[in-house]
Amino acid sequence: MSLSEKSRRLLKMVCRGVGVSAIAFSLNGCMYGPPPDRPEYGPGPDYMSDVCITGVIHDQNTYASIPGIKVSVQGQDAHAFSYGSGYFSVFVPVQETYQLKFEDVDGPANGVYQPKEMTVVLADARSGLGTIHLNPEE
């Protein structure tokens, strides 16, 4: 079996069930950043030195994912909103610590949650925050 045949088999195994357009989209976003005419859709011009902070937001009581939570970084213009799955990602310049704020800004559409603030160190920001739990308003 030649190397190229092994490579094709491996690629087929990895990509099974994933569309070609999804793979191309992921590679484009990770390798090239946002289109030059739409910088607001990704990291800044120095994106190779930026950090992508990621996580998933869940309800503290029910563990259900929460969409529509605004994640902002103090001292930065960067912010993001959690998707339907609760997942969020926000690009920020490299620094030692980050002060993150989680705010429910979509009103009672999916419940109302108390704001939460947390300090994150660079190493945790690079490896992902995991699950962030928010408490519902009473």
User: pTM value?
Assistant: 0.64
Instruction: Write the pLDDT tens digit of every residue in 24-47.
Output: 444 444 444 444 444 444 545 554
CA–CA separation, 95 and 50 (whole Å): 9
- Look at the block and give the residue holding tokens 């929460």: 66
* pLDDT for the residue numbered 127: 84
Instruction: Write the pLDDT tens digit of every residue in 93-102.
Output: 888 999 999 9
* pLDDT for the residue numbered 23: 47
Q: Domain total for the chain? A: 2
Backbone angles phi, psi at 4, to 5 degrees: -65, -35
Structure tokens at 41: 């859709």
Split at pLDDT 50, 70, 90, the class of 50 is confident
Residue 68 placed within a domain: yes
Residue 16 placed within a domain: yes
CA–CA separation, 29 and 23 (whole Å): 10
Residue 123: count other Cβ atoms within 10 Å of its Cβ.
8
Residue 41 placed within a domain: no
Residue 10 placed within a domain: yes
The answer on 25 and 53 residing in a single domain is: no
The answer on 80 and 27 residing in a single domain is: no
